[in-house]
Amino acid sequence: MDAKKKTRVISVDGRFPQPKVINFAAREILHGKLVAFPTETVYGLGANALDEIAVNKIFIAKNRPFQDPLIVHIGSITDLHLLVNDIPVDVYMLADVFWPGPLTFVLFKNERVPNNVTAGLDKIAVRMPAHPVALALLRSCRVPIAAPSANCFGKISPTTAKHVIDDLDGSIDLVLDGGSTTIGLESTVLDMTCTPPRILRPGGISKEDLEKVLGPLTVHDGRQSIEGGDAEETPQCSPGMLSKHYAPRAELILITIPNTKSALKKMRQLSKTKICEGRIVGLLLADEEKCFFADLDLQIITIGSQLQKESIAKNLYSGLRELDEKGVDLILAHDFGKEGLGLAINDRLRRASNIIIDK
């Protein structure tokens, strides 16, 4: 696409999307254009998944390596047959509970799926999003939409249309602005081609909730993929599983000391040292933690109560972006437990971090 061309932004009602807007965006998709749209997790950058040339444009716009496979979105479970020949029974059971929603299945693809969608792999990642705008778009254009998060490769995923424009203005055709996304973290990616199924990326559906349907599950340890782990253990191409991903511009130090009080003490001590070294320090905190730092010269962003992981997840990426905008060169953050959404929050914070301090 012509780099000087301006990206069009059109507002759309996030709950009751106007058919006129949706039909226009659907025509753009069918004409091979790139359309960013809200899902319940993050904004996606969409192209017709069955149009190899359109899919190519996604990689170019995001500066994404061609070895990194995309998630394909569908508007109904029956559309799964367009992409996959043999659908395991467990997929129907899970889809019945969690679709539409933030759960992505990895399945063996069929011959209709262009190779660039899956980066040459014989497996495809598929999900049915719950956001009214995403669903209306999928149902209007009647083709599956390949859509990674609508950010530059390796950076923080967008949870507002403004975030999309900040990263991709001039490189894509259209953004549907349907307001902030509700979950704020990407979908859970579940590999259904192995037994038992394995979580490749923790996300909007918790491990505990999946286990209620499937029994005990394993979680892929993403660190294997950069430390040259067993090739069979490491899906070849999984950008969200690279160790440095979802990253702000500033350096990020993550404190993973289990006891919150000790973690906050460590953050205070580190803040003082770094300020003395001349660093511009920002903190990412839960609401109730701000008062511990009131006397220090810091930029502080709070992202919700410790007791409400949903709020921490929803505000995590915008909090990191805000700290970047405030011009800090160092961000200190702590983790948020392993239960429920905590697993996905910590996964993203780990991947965003340069240094992890655990004692």
Q: Which is nearer to ligand TXA, 17 or 148 (CB)?
A: 148
Q: Which is nearer to ligand TXA, 39 or 353 (CB)?
A: 39
* Beta carbons within 8 Å of 47's beta carbon, 6+ residues apart: 29, 32, 33, 34, 35, 54, 55, 57, 58, 145, 146, 147
For tokens 């190519």, the residue is 56
181 is an interface residue for Mg ion by CB under 5 A: no
**Sole window of 79-87, 146-154, 222-230, 296-304 interacting with Mg ion (rule: CB under 5 A):** 146-154
Evaluate whether 146 touches 58 at the Cβ level (below 8 Å): yes
Q: Which is nearer to Mg ion, 149 or 171 (CB)?
A: 149
Rounded-to-integer distance, Cα 162 and Cα 175, Å? 9
Site residues (vs ligand TXA, CB under 6 A)? 39, 41-42, 44, 69-71, 102, 104, 106, 118, 121, 123-125, 129, 147-149, 186-187, 189, 200-201, 235, 238-241
Tell me how far, at minimum, the Cβ of 136 lies from ligand TXA, in Å: 15
The single residue among 41, 149, 225, 315 that binds Mg ion, judged by CB under 5 A, is 149
CA atoms within 13 A on the CB side of 274: 23
Tell me how far, at minimum, the Cβ of 320 lies from Mg ion, in Å: 14
Tell me how far, at minimum, the Cβ of 71 lies from ligand TXA, in Å: 4
Closest CA to 71 of 92, 31, 102, 35: 102
- Pick from Mg ion, ligand TXA, none: which does 235 bind, CB < 5 to 8 A by kind? ligand TXA
Tell me how far, at minimum, the Cβ of 304 lies from ligand TXA, in Å: 20
For tokens 């580190």, the residue is 270
Rounded-to-integer distance, Cα 210 and Cα 199, Å? 10
Tell me how far, at minimum, the Cβ of 7 lies from ligand TXA, in Å: 17
Rounded-to-integer distance, Cα 68 and Cα 91, Å? 24
Closest CA to 330 of 278, 293, 291, 268: 278
Burial of 281 per CB tally in 10 Å (0-12, 13-18, 19+): buried
Q: Which is nearer to ligand TXA, 116 or 140 (CB)?
A: 116
Tell me how far, at minimum, the Cβ of 262 lies from Mg ion, in Å: 33
Comparing every residue's Cβ against ligand TXA, the nearest one is: 240
- Contact footprint for Mg ion (CB under 5 A): 149
